[in-house]
């Protein structure tokens, strides 16, 4: 079984990440050009290392095209036309599949209308490694974004570190207006043009209609993610990632959806979610090509502050929607948001710490990170419980977590 590896606690260093492996400058220098250029550009990974998906919007109706290749262009060796569609609120969206990629290779691309009179580029990205490959890659994660100056600063900080994946862990937009959603993607373009953006769902994408809740259909129209775009899994090299939609309330067990249904839908409720994720994690745990398992979702299992709201795991109540599964299936790392602070646990299961210190060998339990600092910062009182390895509330924590694998 797994858990025989070696985790270094620098995975949780916030903002200034001296341990981060820097890769070639993906997306650097790319800019929109023309009268109706692509905006809010972002890549998605659909669990196929030979394919990448690019999504963007434009202010006026137009056609779409992507051109890409292994060397600087134009011209580029490959090209494809896109699909042009409208969001529920009428935003003009465009998506192109880049196919025939060599896993792990660096690609150059530009996107725009059919004649490239308006365009975005030249940008670069690294195709996903072959499944099971031990290639080094990096990912960044943060939640609770919104359209703030801190969102822009965090996005810029992520872009400078050139991660291959970015995992926004829910509460992405804090608005019911598509103009606000577009503005968030405009800020995310700093990293989205060169990183696969694999978002998780938060309660502000799921709750009852309100001015700070984004309609579900709007989120799915903009994001273009695997499966039903809400609860899904993908393999990136030797690492298995799973994100779960637990709905509008971490204590509630009737909402959220599993990953069995395609197209922004799913079977609702905790029993369905548990059955789906347990089967997925059991298969990953038994797969010898999977070295690491990373789970990310919005609501916390371990809150480093005494606030303790909407917990999925039994810290302040008997509620356990997921911790037993993550422990039994040997999950290595769990990324969450919701509380607008930064926190990290030692390897822990049901509040029992398995190892302390700064490095872990065969830890025997997951490490939990709380990363609700993408665009909004909070406060509170840090717990003094034994499983708390780090807690940052004053001054308010800002930024993201990044990690090389």
40-51 pLDDT, tens per residue? Answer: 999 999 999 999
Is 113 in contact with 84 (CB distance < 8 Å)?
no
Dihedral angle, C-alpha 399, 140, 38, 210, nearest 10 °? -60
Distance, in Å, from the CA atom of 263 to the CA atom of 286, rounded to the nearest integer, reads: 29
Same domain, 257 and 143: yes
Task: Output the CA torsion sign for 266, 270, 272, 275.
Answer: positive
Q: Where are the alpha helices (DSSP H) in 98-213?
A: 149-160, 178-192
Q: Rounded mean pLDDT of the chain?
A: 91
Model pLDDT, residue 301 = 95
116 in the same domain as 140 = no
Q: Are residues 277 and 341 in the same domain?
A: yes
In angstroms, the CA 52 to CA 168 distance is 18
Residue 20: the pLDDT is 30
Examine the domain organization and report whether 100 and 138 are in the same domain.
Answer: no
In this structure, are 121 and 155 located in the same domain? Answer: no
Asked whether residue 1 is domain-assigned, the answer is no
CB-CB contact of 219 with 205 (8 Å) = yes
Percent of the chain with pLDDT strictly greater than 90 = 84
Q: Which residue has better confidence, 266 or 398? A: 266
pLDDT at 25: 39
Least confident of 6-20, 55-69, 125-139: 6-20
pLDDT category at 2 given cuts 50, 70, 90 is: low
Does pLDDT of 17 surpass 80?
Answer: no
How does residue 83 score in pLDDT terms, banded at 50, 70 and 90?
very high
Q: How would residue 68 be classed by pLDDT, with cut points 50, 70 and 90?
A: very high
Reported as a pLDDT band with limits 50, 70 and 90, residue 18 is very low
Q: Please report which confidence band the pLDDT of residue 309 belongs to, taking 50, 70 and 90 as the band edges.
A: confident
Residues 168 and 220 in one domain: yes
Indicate whether 90 and 200 sit together in one domain: no
Average pLDDT over residues 290-304: 96
Task: Report the pLDDT value the prediction gives residue 13, as an integer from 0 to 100.
Answer: 34
Question: What one-character DSSP code corresponds to residue 119?
Answer: E
86 belongs to a structural domain? yes
CATH number at residue 194: 3.60.21.10
Q: Which of 126, 161, 193 is the last residue of a domain?
A: 126
Residue 137 and residue 122 share a domain? no
Range of lowest pLDDT (30-34, 152-156, 332-336, 393-397): 393-397
Percentage of the chain modeled with pLDDT above 70: 93
User: For residue 352, how many other CB atoms are within 10 A of its CB?
Assistant: 12
218 and 69 both lie in a single domain = no
Whether 91 and 159 share a structural domain: no
Residue 75 structure tokens: 């011209």
Average pLDDT (351-356) is 95
Q: 307 vs 110, 369, 382, CA distance in Å? A: 46, 16, 9
Q: Which domain covers residue 267, as residue numbers?
A: 6-22+132-404
Residue 3 confidence (pLDDT) above 80: no
Last residue of a domain, one of 63, 98, 126: 126
What is the per-residue pLDDT across 204-258, written as a single tens digit (0 to 9) for each? Answer: 999 899 999 999 999 999 999 999 999 999 999 999 999 999 999 999 999 999 9
* Chain segment 354-386, per-residue pLDDT in tens: 999 988 888 999 999 999 999 988 889 999 999
The answer to whether residues 90 and 137 belong to one domain is no
Contact (Cβ atoms closer than 8 angstroms) between residue 220 and residue 229: yes
What CATH code is carried by the domain that includes residue 112?
2.60.40.10
Last residue of some domain: 88, 107, 126? 126
For residues 108-130, b (16+ Cβ closer than 10 Å) or e, as one string?
A: bbbbbbeebebbbbbbbbbbbbb
The closest of 144, 79, 105, 86 to 26, measured between CA atoms, is 105
pLDDT band at residue 29 using 50, 70 and 90 as cut-offs: low
Question: Considering the domain boundaries, does residue 346 fall inside one?
Answer: yes
Whether 191 is in a domain gets the answer: yes
What domain count does the chain have? Answer: 2
Over its C-alpha atoms, the chain yields an Rg (Å, rounded) of 20
User: Is residue 17 included in any domain, yes or no?
Assistant: yes
By the 8 A CB rule, do 165 and 194 touch?
no
Q: What is the largest CA-CA distance in the chain?
A: 61
pLDDT score of 400: 77
Q: Is residue 9 very low, low, confident or very high in pLDDT (cuts 50, 70, 90)?
A: very low
Q: Find the angle CA(276)-CA(87)-CA(30) to the nearest 5 degrees.
A: 95
* Cβ contacts of 340 within 8 Å, gap of 6 or more: 144, 372, 373, 376, 377, 378, 396
- Does any domain span residue 63? yes
User: Residue 349, Cβ neighbours under 10 Å: how many?
Assistant: 18
Token reading at 351: 């509040």
In the predicted structure, residue 295 carries a pLDDT above the cut 90? yes
Tokens 């291959």 belong to 164
311 with 332, same domain: the answer is: yes
Q: Is residue 192 part of a domain?
A: yes
pLDDT at 391 over 60: yes
pTM, entire model? 0.93
Of 295, 373, 311, the closest CA to residue 337 belongs to 373
């Amino acid at each position: 079984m797994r858990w025989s590896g070696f985790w270094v606690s620098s995975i949780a260093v916030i903002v200034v990440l001296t341990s981060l492996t820097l890769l070639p400058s993906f997306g650097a220098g790319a800019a929109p050009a023309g009268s109706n250029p692509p905006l809010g550009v972002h890549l998605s990974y659909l669990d196929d290392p030979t394919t990448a998906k690019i999504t963007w919007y434009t202010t006026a109706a137009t056609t779409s095209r992507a051109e890409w290749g292994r060397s600087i262009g134009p011209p580029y060796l490959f090209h494809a036309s896109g699909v042009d569609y409208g969001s529920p609120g009428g935003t003009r969206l465009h998506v192109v599949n880049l196919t025939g990629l060599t896993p792990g290779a660096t690609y150059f691309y530009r996107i725009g209308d059919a004649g490239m009179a308006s365009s975005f580029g030249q940008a670069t990205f690294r195709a996903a490694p072959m499944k099971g490959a031990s290639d080094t890659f990096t990912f960044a994660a943060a939640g609770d974004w919104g359209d703030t100056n801190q969102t822009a600063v965090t996005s810029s900080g992520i872009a400078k570190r050139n991660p291959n994946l970015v995992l926004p862990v829910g509460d992405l937009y804090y608005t019911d207006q598509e103009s606000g959603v577009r503005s968030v993607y405009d800020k995310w373009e700093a990293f989205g043009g060169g990183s696969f953006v694999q978002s998780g769902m938060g309660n502000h994408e799921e709750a009852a209609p309100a001015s700070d809740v984004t309609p579900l259909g709007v989120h799915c129209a903009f994001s273009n993610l695997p499966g039903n775009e809400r609860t899904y899994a993908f393999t990136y090299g030797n690492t298995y990632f799973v994100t779960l939609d637990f709905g509008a309330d971490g204590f509630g067990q009737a909402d959220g959806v599993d990953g069995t249904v395609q197209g922004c839908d799913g079977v609702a409720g905790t029993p369905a979610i548990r059955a789906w994720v347990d089967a997925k994690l059991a298969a990953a745990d038994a797969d010898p090509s999977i070295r690491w398992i990373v789970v990310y979702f919005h609501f916390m299992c371990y809150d480093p502050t005494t606030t303790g709201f909407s917990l999925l795991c039994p810290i302040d109540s008997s509620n356990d929607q997921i911790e037993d599964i993550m422990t039994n299936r040997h999950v290595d790392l769990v990324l969450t948001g919701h509380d607008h602070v930064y926190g990290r646990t030692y390897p822990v299961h049901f509040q029992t710490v398995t190892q302390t210190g700064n490095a872990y060998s065969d830890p025997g339990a997951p490490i939990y990170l709380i990363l609700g600092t993408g665009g909004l910062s909070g406060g509170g009182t840090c717990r003094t419980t034994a499983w708390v390895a780090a807690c940052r509330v004053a001054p308010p924590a800002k930024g993201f977590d990044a990690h090389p694998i």
